[in-house]
Amino acid sequence: MSMIPWSVNEEDYAVPKRTGKQACDLGAVAELEFLTQAKRRGWNVYVPIGHATPADAIIFRPPARPISVQVKKGMSRGSGRGWKAMVGSGLSKRAIKHSLHFSKFRRYESNSFDVMAMYIAEENLFIFWTLAELLQRGKTWAIWTTIKPSNNWEIFDRFEAA
């Protein structure tokens, strides 16, 4: 007679299949990579809790003011044409259905954050733009190709000098 009143089935411990959250997972990896690289460069790093915050990270070196950063995972444009990231937020189908505004796209506002960081996982690099630069262009996508500068961490020096 067994001392255990229940049996164990291997099916109870099978690894679950992916549920469509892969884009969120890639975004989380990009955010973690940004935090790690910023910390290695001597920045104090902080993370706002929740998805309703306009910035994904805050970095600073006292006595300069904190710099808010929106981190995006760069998406391939295909056929070696570079990568892109949306300069705004995309709304889910559910949010659109329950909204008075029927646009899928919501453009960032000038005070949303200071810097947008696009992470290219395939190349393990970042491209940074100030939000002011992106809004001045008026484009809905930030685009990067390998012939343009990358890992331009010096962009944060502008905020330290101000």
Locate the domains of the chain by residue range. 19-161
User: What three-state secondary structure class fits 87?
Assistant: coil
Q: What is the Cα 108 distance to its own chain's centre?
A: 14
Confirm if 72 and 27 have CB atoms less than 8 A apart. Answer: yes
d(CA 49, CA 52): 8
User: What's the pLDDT score for residue 57?
Assistant: 96
* Amino acid (one-letter) located at 144: W
CA-angle at 150, arms to 144 and 154, nearest 5°? 130
Phi, psi of 113 (to 5 degrees): -170, 180
CATH of 19-161, one of 2.60.40.10, 3.40.50.920, 3.40.50.300, 3.40.1350.10: 3.40.1350.10
Q: What is the pLDDT of residue 40?
A: 96
Question: What's the pLDDT at 9?
Answer: 59
Q: Where are the extended beta strands (E) located within the chain?
A: 44-46, 57-60, 67-73, 75-76, 83-86, 88-90, 105-107, 115-120, 125-130, 141-144
The predicted pLDDT at position 145 comes to 87
The answer to whether the CB of 43 falls within 8 A of the CB of 61 is yes
Question: Which of 61, 116, 127, 57 has the alpha carbon at shortest distance from 88?
Answer: 116
Strands 125-130 and 57-60: unpaired
Report the C-alpha gap between 59 and 141 in whole angstroms.
24
Per-residue pLDDT of the chain (162 residues; tens, 9 = 90+): 555 555 555 566 555 555 555 656 788 899 999 999 999 999 999 999 877 788 999 999 999 999 999 999 999 888 878 899 988 887 555 554 555 555 566 788 889 999 999 999 988 999 999 999 999 988 888 998 888 889 999 999 988 777
Q: Of all helices (H) and strands (E), which one includes residue 25?
A: helix 22-40
